[in-house]
Amino acid sequence: MMTMMQVARMDWGMNVLAEWHCKAETHGIEVYRPDGYGRLGINTTTRTTPTLDFDLMYTAYQQGFDIDAAQRVRHGQFKGFQFCIEEDNQYLREVFLRASTLMLKVTYECRLVERCLEDKDIGSMLDSLTLT
Hey, what amino acid is at 63? Q
Task: Kindly report the pTM of this predicted structure.
Answer: 0.91
The pLDDT value recorded for residue 1 is 39
Handedness of CA 89, 63, 109, 86 (dihedral sign): negative
The CA-based angle 2-7-112, given to 5 degrees, is 65
Burial profile 7-35: b = 16 or more Cβ within 10 angstroms, e = fewer: bebeebbbbbbeebeeeeeeebbebbeee
The pLDDT value recorded for residue 26 is 75
Rounded CA separation 28/17 (Å): 17
How high is the mean pLDDT in each 10-residue block of the chain (132 residues)? 54 90 84 95 93 97 96 98 96 97 96 95 95 88
Rounded CA separation 64/32 (Å): 26
The pLDDT value recorded for residue 11 is 86
Backbone angles phi, psi at 37, to 5 degrees: -110, -30
